[in-house]
Every structure is written in structure tokens, then in C-alpha cells.
Structure 1
């Protein structure tokens, strides 16, 4: 049963979200979402890598284009190509850079191509840019086959690297004489954001290194290796394993926005100005130039553009940046080994399912409510902690499974828990209200501690008992006895509750009730009297129904009960042990009510009350004085009354009989036994039936006549039984 109890929560919190994740992954909807979410987490988490110190950029920026727009040798963009050898030559004035990589395309003929050819032949470590594309008409261009043969990197034909149909190589002799060649293609994800790059790009069956790879190998020889699904590039002294994805791309580490904006960039205008200062001897010390040549010493120099008119921008996780910045980031990744490996999505799904299973245990097995409340915080902390731990190892955990499934699972689980607990609470409440008075239940739900603590104030104690119930029980079968009790107790308890009474307990056929607690009510004596009279009327209805149906036995159908009422101070509250307690009352007030219920038998009345009840309710209800008694265990005498009816139902016959009874009681108190007996006998004549109370007093007078009481007798009858 317990296992079945947890099957639906498991289905709701684990299987349904797991199925949704499987479908999302199957149709490939999650890839872009995973990368977007990881971008956000990267922004929030501390960076653990620094941009390479080996990379600098010569930037043809807005200032450069604006400053030399009217220059006869440069002119407007695109600049004349003879400026590039000048820029490259300037970096080699002292100690040359490791390599100069040009991120500008020279695919069309120019009158100044000879300057680039001369630079290729004389300045050495220069890499020129090529660009591949798909679509359009494939038109073979002069020198393509030569360049393909010269710069092709022998790799397996089934390599996963991106493949294109058309190629744009450096034009003519510029390409043929180029010492090195690199591809500048960048491949954004489906959302347009550039996050990944490829070490190689394919054209036809040839493989060409990208700018990042050329920066890593610095124009030197290198070897590639495929081993057990891993791609390795090895150059002198360095072995770099590339965590390629299925599409031949690798996830880039984008550092921080501040680092990207602070990549060393030197304006081309500054270099030209520095060269002019040097040529005119305006500045003799190179280190005092606007852009000292030493800045490029043993560096990897990228030449690119950031001016808006060059239209070379890319969208990065940090927003829009010049394309050369993106290339610099990729180059730094390869040089420093800052490459991120995107773990298979099944890792993210597996971790999420683990969290969801823990959620089922916490919500439906664990009983510690505090743990239920902090469960979302714990789950999110576990996810962020694991993500950051893997991130520190350059591993990227798929985020979308957790982001999608956990809120869905938690909301469904919590909703179901709320529903089931509410259902159980309602069921418990209904059961409890049938076992314990609704007033106690409501008060307990509001302020249980106050109920446990209890208190002492004025209440009305109610005791009722069926007369001769032992005889009735002997005549009935067990099932009929249970049915009889259920009918009787249900009817009486309903009246008790309707009149704001609190059910203390059942003692067999006896009903113990409290008026004025746990919710204090100043009308408790009046409500108790009203309850008692209504119970008497209800019993008459029950008897008529039983007689009509000829149900039960004759004795049962003639059932009578007795009620004792007393009001006064009493202790009320939950009493018992920590594990089992009930709401009840204690004190002399309670004990007297119980004694009155027992004494009602002697006086032949259904409802016997104390003078404390009579004194506060006599304006609304009619009471008949019966006696002064001293109950067992108490010395103080109690004046007792029978509750007859409401004042509106009072008749002259009753008044005459009661006046006769009270006159007889005065004679009784004055030891005038014969006169008292005469009065008591007249009471029965007025009523037209034998009055039990009068008959009791007649017998008492006869006994006292034969055995007169001692001097100082106060007329109070002392009961020797409870």
C-alpha cells in the first residue's frame, strides 16, 4: 500500500517531466536554450580564466578612417593595400612578432597588390584571410587549385568540420605568395549568437586552418591526431586536445565583458602617426612614440577593423563586438587551452531526474516540514553548485532540463501534496468533529498551545445518563444495542452542538458536555437549560418512532434519561499525556453536576439543576424547588431544582402543585411531619399522578417522625452515594 501511495507522485514529479525532457531533446529544441541559459550562468559565476597576454590587435577604427579619409595614399575605406605592408613592417622594427594574422579579405584585384606580394616575400610570418560560403554559382577562380594544394591540411575525409561549396581566396599572386593562409568564417548558433568556432573549415575535400588555429600554431609545423573520438593538435612542446562537438565546432570561453573590451588594441592611425614621427626624427627614442614598436615584440598580431563602415561585427554573449574581437577570443582559447566541453544532454537530464526523485522523497516521504519548505533552495543550490564545479573544469552541463523540469515537477508535486494533505485534513477534520466537539477542533486549529495550556473560568457542566440502561442492554443483541445507542447519542449530541455545547466524552450511554468552553460564552447556563429541554422533547420523538415501528424491546422503547446541570468555575483544557490527551473539565462544579444527574433518579425528574443555574435562568425558564441536599464529599448544602419548562409553557396547575410542595417543605424544615406529609400528598392529587419528589419527602418525614433528628438539624438531606 505504501508503495502504491508513492507511485502517482513519482509519475507526476519524475516520469511526466522526464518524458517532456526526452521529447524536447529528441526534436533538438533544447540546444539553443541550453546555450542561452549557460550564457546567463557564465555572466553570474566568477571567471576562472584570463585572456592570453600573447595577443594584440592593430585596429582600423573610426579614428583611423576619419583621420585619413582625405589622405592621398590611403583615402576612404577600403584603404589602399600598400598601407598594410607599412603596418606589418612597423611591428618588426625591433623584435618581430611571432606571427601577423590579417583579418581583412583581399579577394578583389587592386593596383597595389604588388605591395602585398612584396610584403609576403620579405616580411615573413604573415597569414592571409580566406572566406568560404554556401549557395550561389560555383565559379572556379584562378589559382584556387594551387592554393588548395599549398595550404590543405591532410585530415580524414569524414571529419565533422563545417563544409562549404564556394571559396574566396586572396587574389592572384597575393594568395600564391602568402606564407600562410587561414579561414575567417565564423558560425553563429541558430539564435544568431557567436559562441563556438571550428579549428578547421572544409572546402571540397580540403581542410584549411581557421584564424584561431593559425594563431595557436604561430605558423609553425604541427600534427593532428584522431584517437578514440578525440581530436588532438600537437605542436612543438604543446599538446592540445580539442573537445569537438558533433558538428566540428567547439564551445568558446568568452572570459568577461571587461576583459574583452580591454584586449590590447592599437589604432592604425596611431601606428601611422608613430611612423611619421620616427621618419621625421621628431621622436628619436622608439619607446616614446605614440605606439612603441616594442608592444608587438613576440606577440601574435591580429590586423582587423572595428569601424562601423567596415561592417565586420558579430553578436557575442556580451552583445555586439567587432569580428576581430571574436577571432581574438577564439585564438586565446586555443593558445591557453580555455576550451569548453559541452557535456551530452543526457548528463543534464540524469542530474535533473535525480533531483526530481529526491523531491518526491522530500515532499511525500519526509515528514520534516522545514525541509519541504527549503527544498527548492536546496535543489537550485545543488544545480548551481554542480554547474559551477563542472564549469571550473571547463565542462558545460546542459541547463534546460533542470530549468524546465524542476519548476514543473515542484509545482505539480506541491499542488498534489496540498490537495492530498487538504483532503486528509478534511477527512481527519470530519472524523475528528464526529469524535471531538467541532468547537474544540476549530479552537485547536487556531490556537492549540492555548488549549493545551488550559484555563479556569465559569462554565456549565452537563451530565446525562439513560435510566435502567443495563436492563436495556441485556435485552438487545449487540447490533441492536449499537444501533440504539447510535440513534440516541446522534440525536442528543446534535442538539448539544447546535446550542454551542462542547462534547467532552461519551461514557457508554452517558453524555458529558461543557457549555462556555473552549470558546467562552456568557450565555452558557441558558444554553445548557435549552439543550436539556430540547433533549427531553427529542427523546419523546424517538420513542414515538420506535413505538410506531415496534423497534427494539418494550423497555428500550420506553427509555428515559436524567440530566444534571451546574454552573461555576472549573478548570478546562487538554488533559492527558503528550501522546494522548482529550479536552475536558475538572473541579467541584463538575463533580456537583455529576451528583445532580445521579440524584435526579430519587426525585423522579428528568433535569436536576443547582441553584446557581436557577438564579441566572429563572426569568426564561421555570424551575421547581425540590430540596436542600449535601452531596457526598462536600459539607456545604446545595439547593436543587427541577427544570420544568420555559416560562411561556408554565400552567396554573403546576404553580398550585409547586406552592403546595414548598409549603410542605416548610413544615418539613420545621419538623412538623404530619402537616408536611399532608401537603406532599396533596401535591400528587393536584398533579393527578404520583409525584416522585413528594413521595420521597413523605417517606423521609415518616422516618424522621419515628427517629427524630438531633438538635441543630438544618433540614438538609445528606446523600451517602454518588
Structure 2
């Protein structure tokens, strides 16, 4: 027996010897691997790369889908520049005179505040001064008169500014990373407790804002940007505060709330405030606007708890400006926070939400205001990261310990329970307290640790098996050596009773074909035929049991469930008929080219359905998954009777009772071998589409008339019905009607025989 080299062996005695043996043992290696993996996974979670963060947030999206924010009627409305408004007032951008009229109209209807999710950064192109400038270089005959008339008209932007000044209006601006010197005026006062927000917020370098005359007239200015952290495109957060490094601006929703409450400013609380320990890392905690508090992320954003996009929030601009709808619109606008935006195709920028919906950006601001008013927030507390890191370590260590103590099977069950508890705890926190705690990464870390420990144990065990084989291979028989390596339980044989559909297929006239071909040619013929027939069976989810020379046995609904297995077996048979026809037409077997008297290959297919015993059958060393039972025997005997009925596809009465929609025609009864009562058989005429045709419905009626007349021994009616059936039936049914012609001549219907 081989010995380890001296340098690789452990000391014989002492603590060092015990430690060395522990480290070199199977469990010692597994513990070391688990510890290394846990350290790596914990550091990865602490670093929180994009893919980990996205996985976490997808979990939170799922929570919102399962329990979206409940909708309640709140005074928040979206005045929508929709398709109807575009059709009524023309394409966007509209003249500022129309926007001035809209603003005045909303003020007259009692709007508490009007917030535009639109930036008016350029002068109105339809304003008289702009038109006058465009006419300056023209050679119109009345140019001077026209320019004088235009000069007497009021400026559209000025009219809009006057309407804004007389109505509580909030205008939006967009913070930009592109540097410029444009800054909107600050309308809201700021008070902060703890850290100064300017030291926390990432400064923007430029902005896109409305014209100065409009901004100066507005009661509030708010940022309309959505979170840059939502890089996957799904909107989950909205910035509540913006800073250019020297001033702080509120978001559009915050500013709309401030103006609606006639407040002068907002209050922001951060780390270092009373009751909050200054951890050395500057972060924001929450903010207050009048009567409303809202939690913030550490960088001044808010999680949006979405409700479904509902038509109740929207009012068309067309309806607002329609005097005839004042009575309908006023109750919805009076005292409400009104946001003006667009849902018209080509104008809106659709934003995906965690609920899987695409909504306009203005609807996100509206939902944010709703959740502030209702105080229905979702929050990710500042201790969530620490908890998840602790859970990553704890769950990983727990699973590793369970594997080492109780083995993989028990540990896998325990891991499932631990995962379920983690998910249930996270869901409980969301559904009851609206907390966002990630259970997925700690659970995946535990799974990764489990796989690592199991992998190490497997590798070490495999090394031990190799050592056993090297040491004992010359002393023990291979069978005993295999037991020594794996100690497996005895392989269990047996099966289960299942409702299956069984098919047998056989080649007609195979003996003459085999006599005319060499052994090589015969194998090529069999392969050419059985390969596409097997594909037809497997296309319909059938299980090929075995090939018996030129025959195929197949069954459905085992080993996996197939809901419509009788119909699938019938469709497979029809596909097999089509395959054989195509092969014959292409002379794929070469029988026509070789001058065979009958170059056509024909098959017979028998199908039956019922209960059979299916499972692994054979010996401990060699077994096969197969089906056994009376249903199998009957299917084989049905196949052998197809030549008696002159048709290629026959099924049992049991299958007819179990299938719907397949085009079937009664072929007659036959006494199968081993049966005391005749078995009624049916021919497959076509699939579900053919069964629904007018031709088959008429053929069914004529066929039944043929059966009735034969049963009553009325030769005249039988002959007439047979001729009608032949005329309406296709080529595939002519053999069946040849069989019925024989019954008419014999003046009998039943055919008895041993099969």
C-alpha cells in the first residue's frame, strides 16, 4: 500500500499533529473552503456591484407587484395633453396663448396648484415679435402694414407669464451633467437639521429651465429628473432635492406640495441631528413640507410605492377647456394639486414601473405626491445593508455546519426551510411595515456555500475512492470494490399504474421487401423509414418504447404527464401516414427506380388507451423503461387487424371515448385473440381541422347510413351509400370502403376471426 511522502505527512504527536490532521481531513478542507467562500461573498455584498443591486431591486419590484399601493381618491390630478387634445388644438408645441388660457382656466376651476411637467426653455415661435422678425427679409407687398399690426399684438410669452403670476404655478427644470451657467431661481426656503444637504447631494453642472420671465412669475420651481441610479430603466426612485453646489432645489412633487400649502420653505433632516448619531458618513434621513413628512434615501431620493396607472387621475385638456364640461371638471380640479403633462403618442416618454406598466413621467410625480399625502411609503432603512451582510454570514455558516453534521440531503431540506423563512420574514416586513429587506442574496450565498462544501466533500471523497481502488483493487472483486467505494442501496425495480395511450406500427408486406434486399440495403430501408416515423411520434410528445425489426412500439402520458395524449397519438399517426406518402412520392427507398412490381411502402398503425403498468423493468444490471398490460396487447392486435379492414390507422372504442375533435369513422367489430367479446374499431380520417369541415360532417352522415343499411341487410341502400361514401372520402379511405364493399356482397357486417 502506498504511503505519503515524509514531507507531506503530519507530525505524529502534539497539538500541531491534531491541527494538521484536522486541516487535511475531509471536513477540515470543507470548513476552509466554506470560510473562504463566505468571506468572498460577504465582501462582494459589501461592495454591492450593479448586478447584485439589480437582483435585490428586482425582488423589491416583485413585492410591489404582489402588493401595490392601494388606491384612494386624493386631490391629485393630471391634466393630460392627450390624443383628443392634440386632435382638437393641433400638434405640440401649442402657442403660449393656449397655455395661458389653460392656466387661467385651471385657476378659475379652483386648482390648489398647477405644476407643469414641461420645460418652456425657448420663446414661443408663434409670438408676434418672432413672426415680425421672420417677415423682416420678405418682399410681401403689405409687409410694412403686417409688421405694424404684429407689433401692436401682445407677446405670447408675456401673456403666459401673466397667467402664471395670477395662478399658483410650479414650473419644472432639468438638472444636467453638461456644464452651463443657466440656473433657475430658488423659490423655496431651506432649513436643515444635522448635516447640510449641500454636502450630501451630488451637484449638477448645468440645467435646462424655462424662460426667465416665466420662472420669475412662477410660485415654485422644482426638478423633474428621475433617479440616475435606476440604470435598468425601471423607475423606482425619484430625487427629492437637487443642488448645484451652492443652492438646494426641491423636486417637482415637493415644490407642488409646498405651494399648495402656502409654505415658505422645507425642512431637511440628516445625520448628526437630534436623536441620530453622526456615523461619520454624511447622509440624509427625511424632510418635511408643511404637514407632510417623507423619508429620504441617504442621497436625497425617495422610493416610489406605485399604484396601477388609473384613468381616474387623468383629465383631458380638451375637457378642461370645454365650457360645456365645467360642471363635470370643476369638482375634480377644485382644491387639487394639478400636474400638466402628456400621454399623447410621440410626446410622452414612457417609463417602466415595477408593476410592469409603461406610464408617462408626469404620472410618476403624481403617484409620488399621492403617497406623500397618504403617508404610504416604502423605505429601505439605513440598517438594512448591515442586516443583510450579517444574514449572509449567518445563513452561510448555518448551511455549512448542517452539511458537515447531517449530510447533504438533510441540509438541502433545511436550506429550503431557511430560504422560506428568510423570504417570509422579508415579505412580512414589506407587507406590514413597508420595509425593503433583501432575502435573495443571503439565500443565494447560503446556496453557494452549500455547493462549495458539497463540491469539496465530493472531490475529497473521490480522491479517497481512488486511494481505496489503488490499495485494494488487487484483492477484491470489482463488484465488491464498487460497494466499498459507494455503498449504494439496491436498485429498485417496478412501476406504477398510469393511464396511457399505446401505439403499434408495422410495415405491411415486409417479408417480400426483405427478400428483395440485401442485408445492407435492408438496414438502410429500415433507417430511412423509421427515422421520420420516430420524429412524428416525438413531435407529439410520445415515448418510443422499442423498435422490433420493422415495427415501433410507443406510448403517451409516461414517464411525464401529457394532458391530451389520446389526441396526440392520433395526430402522430396522421403525421406518420403523411411521412410514408411523402417518402413513396419521392421514391426515397428506390423501389420504383429498381422496377419493383409494387414500389409503395405501406404501414399499419393500431392505437389503444387505458391503464398500464409503466416503469423500469428487467434485472438489477440491465433494465428498460416500458409499459405492460392488457392495453398494450390490444393495441398490438389492433395494428395486426388493419390489413383486414383495408385501412392503415385503427383505434379502439376506448380511445374514441377519451378523445375529442379527431375525425373518426366506425370500421366495425372484430373478435381479437384472447377476448370473449368483439372489439369495436374506428378508422382515423383526419385531424381536428378536417373533423370540423362540411365535407367530413356529410361523410359522417353517409357513413352512418352505410352502417345502418348493412346492418339491416339492405343491399340496394348499402350500395348507394357506399358509392356516396367513396365519392366523398379521400384516397386514404378507399381501402376501408373496399372492405365494406365486401361486407355488402357477403350481406353481412360483422367480421369474426382470431387475431
- TM-score by length of structure 2 reads 0.49
Equivalent residues of 1:37, 1:400 under 8 A apart? no
CA distance in 1, matches of 2:76, 2:286: 22
1:327 lines up with 2:368 in the alignment: no
CA distance in 1, matches of 2:216, 2:123: 14
1:128-187 Cα shifts (integer Å, max 9, x gaps): 222221214x2458xx5xx24x44535536442242122333313222121222221223
CA distance in 2, matches of 1:449, 1:309: 66
1:220 lines up with 2:274 in the alignment: no
Equivalent residues of 2:118, 2:341 under 8 A apart? yes
Q: 1:231 aligns with which of 285, 290, 302?
A: 285
1:268 lines up with 2:309 in the alignment: no
CA distance in 2, matches of 1:191, 1:109: 35
Deviation at 1:328, TM superposition (A): 1.9
Deviation at 1:266, TM superposition (A): 1.5
Q: 1:244 aligns with which of 289, 293, 297?
A: 297
- Write out aligned runs for 1:575-586 (5 A): none
Q: 1:293 aligns with which of 301, 315, 330?
A: 330
CA distance in 2, matches of 1:52, 1:231: 29
Structural RMSD (CA): 3.8
CA distance in 1, matches of 2:162, 2:482: 102
Equivalent residues of 2:239, 2:251 under 8 A apart? yes
Structure 1: runs of 5+ lacking an equivalent: 70-75, 279-285, 451-722
Deviation at 1:19, TM superposition (A): 1.1
- Write out aligned runs for 1:248-647 (5 A): 248-255=300-307, 259-262=308-311, 264-272=313-321, 274-275=322-323, 277=324, 286-287=326-327, 289=328, 292-317=329-354, 318=356, 320-337=358-375, 338-341=377-380, 343=382, 344-366=384-406, 371-392=410-431, 393-398=433-438, 401-402=441-442, 404-419=444-459, 438=480, 445-447=488-490
Q: 2:43 aligns with which of 18, 22, 25?
A: 22
1:319–1:449 distance in 2 versus 1, CA, 3 Å: closer
The aligned counterpart of 1:107 is 121
Deviation at 1:59, TM superposition (A): 0.8
3-state SS of 2:346 partner: helix
CA distance in 1, matches of 2:61, 2:250: 31
Equivalent residues of 1:340, 1:396 under 8 A apart? yes
CA distance in 2, matches of 1:179, 1:172: 13
1:43–1:416 distance in 2 versus 1, CA, 3 Å: farther
- Write out aligned runs for 1:91-170 (5 A): 91-93=106-108, 96-110=110-124, 111=127, 112-123=156-167, 125-136=168-179, 138-139=180-181, 147-148=185-186, 150-151=187-188, 153=190, 156=196, 158-170=198-210
1:51–1:17 distance in 2 versus 1, CA, 3 Å: farther
CA distance in 2, matches of 1:44, 1:100: 31
Deviation at 1:211, TM superposition (A): 1.1
1:182-201 Cα shifts (integer Å, max 9, x gaps): 22122332334332122111
1:83–1:262 distance in 2 versus 1, CA, 3 Å: same
Q: 2:95 aligns with which of 76, 80, 105?
A: 80
3-state SS of 2:94 partner: coil
Deviation at 1:325, TM superposition (A): 1.6
Structure 2: runs of 5+ lacking an equivalent: 1-17, 128-155, 277-282, 494-755
1:217-239 Cα shifts (integer Å, max 9, x gaps): 3343254143235534334444x
1:215-261 Cα shifts (integer Å, max 9, x gaps): 443343254143235534334444x252322x332332234xxx124
The aligned counterpart of 2:625 is none
1:447–1:339 distance in 2 versus 1, CA, 3 Å: closer
1:191 lines up with 2:232 in the alignment: yes
3-state SS of 1:260 partner: coil
Equivalent residues of 1:104, 1:129 under 8 A apart? yes
Deviates more, 1:293-302 or 1:211-220: 211-220
Question: Which of these two proteins has the greater Rg computed from alpha carbons?
Answer: 1
Deviation at 1:378, TM superposition (A): 1.6
CA distance in 2, matches of 1:354, 1:48: 33
Equivalent residues of 2:120, 2:210 under 8 A apart? yes
Deviation at 1:403, TM superposition (A): 5.9
CA distance in 1, matches of 2:314, 2:459: 63
3-state SS of 2:249 partner: strand
3-state SS of 2:93 partner: coil
Deviation at 1:205, TM superposition (A): 0.9
1:167–1:423 distance in 2 versus 1, CA, 3 Å: closer
Equivalent residues of 1:188, 1:194 under 8 A apart? no
1:43–1:178 distance in 2 versus 1, CA, 3 Å: closer
The aligned counterpart of 1:670 is none
Deviation at 1:89, TM superposition (A): 3.9
Equivalent residues of 1:197, 1:249 under 8 A apart? yes
CA distance in 2, matches of 1:131, 1:40: 26
Equivalent residues of 1:30, 1:400 under 8 A apart? no
1:154–1:225 distance in 2 versus 1, CA, 3 Å: closer
3-state SS of 1:334 partner: helix
CA distance in 2, matches of 1:373, 1:328: 46
